[in-house]
A and B are shown apart, each in its own frame.
Chain A
Amino acid sequence: MSAVVVDTVTKVFNQGRPDEVVALADVGLTVADGEFVSLIGPSGCGKSTLLRLIADLIAPTAGSVTVAQKTAGEARKQQAYGIAFQQAGLFEWRTVLRNVELPLELRGMSRARRRSRAEEMLELVGLAEFAGHYPAQLSGGMQQRVAIARALAVQPPLLLMDEPFGALDEMTRERLQSELLAICAKTGTSTVFVTHSISEAVFLSNRVVVMSARPGRITEAVTVDLPVRDDSVRQSERYFACVTAVRRALRGGNVSTPRTEEGVEV
């Protein structure tokens, strides 16, 4: 079973106008259940557009998007995914706990149940004692963790993330990466993760999908098979080989598979 199927999708903005832009051309992507897929590429390659298509925040010009065997629109209406963006986007007038409760509230869950679920989610991201705080009282990294807790609150089978750690410092970023992996492993969530950090993509993903711009399309998919995902793996040869493979794919030209690259560039 696949969590996401993107079938020859084309997205054109401002169609028929002089400022027409082909954001995506004939893109196909399948994400398996429980798989962690990163989308990486230069600015303007359409990686965020692809994520928004999966989220049904925008509609494709041609082609179809299927999420958990449903159309993207149905999946959105059933809250079949959780989403997080580069900015935490918390509601400043709600406490941390009530921010996490919001998607549950809109699902019509009872007060007591959504409270306990939200507390559980805050526990998961290590912010249980900040439940009563307002977002403005938290650091950027903490706010982003609240946003992740909120995305996970409905316990969705799919998690969509658009550069969620992009605005954070390196240390916070690495810690949150490990936390995210642990959460995904625990919950069995499939994830589509947009980033422009090669190391982040390799560390997190089962598969790194490399895209290029004008028009946005997928040029290469690099499979990452790291034995474990902890901080020690960031120093391993296998890790560096994958980083090199992704970098090569990003630079385009004659792309080789990671296996033949292994050990050469390290």
Chain B
Amino acid sequence: MRWARSVLPPVVVGVVALAAWQLTVTLGRIAPFILPAPSEIWREMLQQRTNIWQAALASGENALIGLVGGSIVGVLAAMAASRFRPLAEVSIPFAAVLNALPIIALAPILNNMFETTSSIPRRLVAAIIVFFPVFVNTLRGLREVDPIHRELMHSYAANGWTFAVKVRLPGALPYVFTGLRQASSLAVIAAVVAEYFGGLQNGLGSRITSAASFTAYPRAWAFVVGACLLGLAFYLSTLLLERLAMPWRTRLIA
């Protein structure tokens, strides 16, 4: 019953919105190149389902590699920065600069650095985008150590490494996952957008641009929906991973 109450409202809103969209397009006789009807998009999705699946796998692979790579570097950088204070003071503005960097500007430049058939530029773009939220959140988590935990570990004569592994890292986990949750959707967006600037024509982004240039707008929209589902899949996987990594929190909720 409670499940129905939490699931029903968004489903109803979604169905109503789709119906309104359909009615607006058909009754308002809006041209399909401006806004195609949902029924049209749905038909394209069914027709293109293998293409969408293949493209999603290609973009998903880039996003995943970028996400994993960027996260590892982000966590390691945060660990180093939390260990050596001067490093943190230097690295935070540096990370902020990296964050302010528009990937739109970066993608074509990176494309020129590598071969045209290389997926590396896309993965790099995704990794750079992922780095910032993971780095900032992890660093905050690593710095926020309960003073009692600090005194306790001191009383146990624990060395810096033991302290980092047994207290700092597990204590920072909730923060790491806050960063990862933001990063997971960003990685997909970055991987898809990076495809707009040439290179291999195998991902969702390149499919969207090519469909749009053929004025096949419903097909372009079908791939957009695919990109949205891919982002959602990444986000939900991260949530699941969070639950698995922190069993002491799930039990609290269950």
Contact = CB atoms under 8 A, between A and B. Distances in A.
Contact of B157 (A79, A89, A91, A94): A79
B149 A57 contact: no
B233 interface: no
B156 A134 contact: no
Contact of A136 (B157, B166, B248): B248
Interface stretch (A35-43, A80-88, A213-221): A80-88
Interface residues of A, number: 24
B235 to A, nearest CB: 24
B155 A83 contact: yes
* Residue among A55, A94, A102, A137 facing the most chain B CB atoms (10 A cut-off): A102
A103 B166 CA distance: 11
A186 interface: no
B248 A76 contact: no
A76 B157 contact: yes
Contact of B173 (A79, A89, A93): A93
Interface string B211-252: 000000000000000000000000000000000001110011
Nearest to B155: A83
A106 B252 contact: no
B170 A91 contact: yes
Nearest to B245: A93
Which of A56, A92, A94, A137 is packed against the most chain B CB atoms within 10 Å?
Answer: A92
A93 B156 contact: no
A17 interface: no
B146 interface: yes
Interface string A51-95: 010011100000000000000000011110101010101011110
B248 A134 contact: yes
Interface string B148-179: 11011011111000100011001101000000
Contacts of A55: 151, 155
B154 A57 contact: yes
Contact of B248 (A87, A89, A93): A93
Nearest to B152: A89
A136 B174 CA distance: 15
Contacts of A93: 170-171, 173, 246, 248
Contacts of B170: 91, 93
Contacts of B246: 93
B252 A91 contact: no
B157 A77 contact: yes
Interface string B2-42: 00000000000000000000000000000000000000000
Given A87-B148, A92-B248, A136-B248, A76 B166 contact: no
A88 B157 CA distance: 19
| 4 closest A-B pairs by CB | A89-B148, A134-B248, A93-B170, A77-B157
Given A55-B155, A103-B156, 12 more contacts: A79-B156, A87-B148, A89-B148, A89-B149, A91-B167, A91-B171, A93-B173, A93-B246, A102-B156, A102-B166, A135-B248, A136-B248
Interface of B: 146, 148-149, 151-152, 154-158, 162, 166-167, 170-171, 173, 246-248, 251-252
6 contacts: A57-B154, A78-B157, A79-B155, A83-B155, A85-B152, A91-B167
